[in-house]
């Protein structure tokens, strides 16, 4: 466990020193939410604002955590630092755990900043308990996203190989998770594919929470599935992260 925090601390130190990456990671989502505001204002669907913007915030956290983690891990492999870590005595599970710790921090910061902007920009108001539960969903989704990034990175030999996974994995999630269109309006095959996506369960939980007056007992099933998703990805990534 000690090694997990050593790797995590190193990842956080790197992120802290990479001011450009930090700025892009935080300013980018803020701009996207502003563009979404302009788009929704144009559509004049004020009543449906929360239904779209809160899940979209979750999507941004999911997408960026996945993308950044996948790319940085591929860089670790191509640059030789991954191999060096293993030879220096770090285990695969410790490297993965360290990345979760490091990127979890960034994802939390992103979620906090983007959610705050979203609430202010769209003039949304929730009880403290709902906000806490929303954060909980975002956090678990961030962990799943980091693990998905680690898993996908094992299929890439260089950074450019990550990008085909965006249309292959991330964009279908956006359309089939129920985030844009309610799940029951999708064709049956689409509903089944959507259920394979972690975003589906995050979206379910978020849609329940923004109705108001809903607690953990209502979203518990979705959170458990998300956590199970994380455990499965952790096990698979621990096997696929090449060491020798």
Partner 1 sequence: MNAVEVSGLRKSYGKIQALQGVDLRVPAGAIYGLVGPNGAGKTTLIKALVGALRPDAGEVRVLGLDPLKEKWALRRQIGYMPQSYALYEDLSARDHLTFYGQGQNVADLPRKVGEILAFTELSERADDPVRTFSGGMKKRVSLACALIHDPRILFLDEPTAAVDPHLRRRSWQLFRTLAGRGITLLISTHLMEEALLCDQVTIMRQGQIVAMDTPERLMERGRSQLWVHQNGAAQQQVIPSTPAALATALHAYGLAAGIDAVHVRAESLEEIVLGIIQEQEAQS
Query: Which of residues 102 and 198 has its CB atom nearest to partner 1 in the complex?
Result: 102
For residues 148 and 140, give the distance between their C-alpha atoms in angstroms, rounded to a whole number.
12
Nearest CA among 75, 61, 68 for reference residue 20: 68
CA dihedral sign, ordered 23, 64, 168, 38: negative
CB of 161 to partner 1, least distance (A): 19
For residues 98 and 14, give the distance between their C-alpha atoms in angstroms, rounded to a whole number.
12
CB of 96 to partner 1, least distance (A): 15
Token pair recorded at residue 140: 């678990």
Alpha helices in the chain (DSSP H): 2-17, 19-43, 49-79, 81-87, 92-121, 128-153, 165, 171-176, 188-195, 198-209, 216-240
CB of 81 to partner 1, least distance (A): 5
Query: Which of residues 10 and 195 has its CB atom nearest to partner 1 in the complex?
Result: 10
Query: Which of residues 2 and 185 has its CB atom nearest to partner 1 in the complex?
Result: 2
Query: Which of residues 6 and 109 has its CB atom nearest to partner 1 in the complex?
Result: 6
- The beta-carbon contacts of 37-44 under 8 Å, at least 24 apart in sequence, are 37/121, 37/122, 40/122
Query: Which of residues 38 and 88 has its CB atom nearest to partner 1 in the complex?
Result: 88
CB of 16 to partner 1, least distance (A): 9
Query: Which of residues 62 and 92 has its CB atom nearest to partner 1 in the complex?
Result: 92
CB of 163 to partner 1, least distance (A): 22
Q: How many CA atoms lie within 13 A of 189 on its CB side?
A: 1
Using CB under 8 A, list all residues that contact partner 1: 3, 6, 10, 13-14, 17-18, 79-81, 83-90, 243-244
Query: Which of residues 53 and 74 has its CB atom nearest to partner 1 in the complex?
Result: 74
Contact 62, 203 (CB under 8 A): no
CB of 69 to partner 1, least distance (A): 15
Residue 93 contacts by C-beta under 8 Å, 6 or more apart in sequence?
4, 234, 238
CB of 142 to partner 1, least distance (A): 22
Residue written as tokens 């360290």? 98
């Amino acid at each position: 466990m000690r090694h997990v925090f050593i790797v995590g601390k190193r990842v956080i130190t790197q992120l802290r020193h990479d001011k450009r990456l930090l700025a892009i990671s935080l300013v980018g989502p803020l701009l996207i939410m502003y563009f979404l505001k302009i788009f929704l204002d144009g559509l004049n669907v004020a009543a449906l604002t929360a239904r779209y913007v809160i899940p979209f915030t979750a999507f941004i956290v999911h997408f960026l955590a996945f993308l950044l983690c996948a790319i940085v891990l591929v860089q670790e492999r191509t640059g030789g630092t991954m191999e060096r870590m293993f030879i220096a005595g770090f285990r695969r599970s410790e490297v993965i755990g360290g990345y979760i710790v490091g990127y979890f921090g960034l994802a939390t910061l992103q979620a906090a900043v983007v959610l705050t902007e979203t609430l202010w920009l769209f003039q949304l108001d929730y009880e403290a308990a709902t906000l806490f539960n929303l954060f909980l969903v975002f956090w678990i989704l961030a962990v799943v996203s980091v693990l998905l990034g680690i898993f996908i990175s094992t299929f890439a030999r260089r950074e450019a190989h990550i990008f085909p996974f965006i249309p292959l994995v991330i964009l279908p999630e956006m359309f089939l998770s129920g985030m844009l269109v309610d799940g029951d309006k999708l064709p049956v095959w689409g509903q089944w594919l959507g259920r394979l996506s972690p975003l589906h369960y995050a979206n379910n939980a978020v849609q329940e929470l923004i109705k108001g007056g809903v607690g953990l007992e209502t979203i518990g099933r979705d959170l458990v599935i998300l956590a199970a998703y994380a455990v499965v990805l952790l096990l698979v990534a621990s096997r696929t992260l090449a060491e020798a």
